[in-house]
Amino acid sequence: MLDRHPSIAIGPETAILCDFPNPERLAIEWGLRAADIERDIRSSRSVVEFTGGFFRAYAARRGKPIWGDKTPRNVRAIDRILRWFPQARFIHMIRDGRDVACSLRRHPKETVRNGRLVPNEVNRPIAECAKRWLEDTSCGLAYRGHPRVIEVRYEALTADPESELRRVCAFLRLDYEPSMASAKDEGAPADLNDGRLMNNRDAAGRVHRKSLSRWRRDLSAQERLDFVHVAGELLVALGYAPDHGWATE
């Protein structure tokens, strides 16, 4: 949705800021040559210089002045992102941890192998997924109230996209554009290729709410208890449940 704004360019996930640049993966997902990426890495004096150059080049190709990165694990690197990029602003998305666990169970659905995008079969324990949600969300909550960090609830965004996007745009000091809430055939960029939509084939469509409360149908009785044991208190603290009674409904 941010990428649909005429001033903002956001491509696929990169993990550049929270891990290490992977030339092969970046080449596949971004439609570039791995050799060119490797050259740029070698010629850069720091991660900051490579990252800035990589994203500025992409934004320039799109004719946009602002770039962003949507890698979820960036939530574990907020401190250095804000420090490395003094003008940066961070959007912390929070979602019901039970639904997140259901999603993480089989994520990622696709991966890069031998230079190609291929299906990925994974089935993680719910306790492991709950731990990931607990740790990642806690990392973001540590910056609640920071002037360059905004908190957005997934549920609020899907319920009223325009209101939440207007709030985000105000935080970014940009005017809201109706195109942000449109679908692919209503003005989204033409480069929505396989790499760009990796692990999220619905990203080109309209906002929907079909994944809300998926835990009610996806989690077994034991898995509900597993979640409570790992992350039940944060779920209550964030207002997603009044207590742990939901696990035995």
- Has residue 90 been placed in a domain? yes
Let me know if residue 19 belongs to a domain.
no
Count of structural domains within the chain: 1
Block residue for tokens 């946009």: 64
Please write the tens of the pLDDT for every residue from 86-113. 999 999 999 999 999 999 998 776 666 6
pLDDT at residue 188 in the model: 44
Cβ neighbours of 243 (radius 10 Å): 10
Structure tokens at 223: 């898995």
In 3D space, the residue among 181, 194, 196 whose CA is nearest the CA of residue 5 turns out to be: 181
Is residue 32 assigned to a domain?
no
166 in a structural domain: yes
Q: Which token pair is 64?
A: 């946009």
Query: DSSP assignment of 20-43, as one string?
Result: ---HHHHHHHHT--HHHHHHHHHH
In this prediction, what percent of the chain has a pLDDT beyond 70? 86
Q: Which pairing describes strands 90-94 and 110-113: parallel, antiparallel, or unpaired? A: unpaired
Indicate whether 241 belongs to any domain: yes
Q: Quote the domain boundaries for residue 238.
A: 70-248
What is the distance between the alpha carbons of residues 36 and 58, in angstroms, rounded to a whole number?
14
Query: 0.85 cut: is pTM over it?
Result: yes
Kindly report, residue by residue over 124-147, the tens digit of the pLDDT: 999 999 999 999 999 999 999 999
pLDDT digits (tens, 9 = 90+) for 40-86: 999 999 999 999 999 999 999 999 999 999 999 999 999 999 999 99
Residue 129 in any domain: the answer is yes
Establish if 127 belongs to a structural domain.
Answer: yes
CATH code: domain of residue 225: 3.40.50.300
User: In this structure, is residue 193 part of a structural domain?
Assistant: yes
Phi first, then psi: what are they for 184, rounded to 5°?
-55, -45
Query: Rounded to whole angstroms, how far apart are CA atoms 23 and 14?
Result: 10
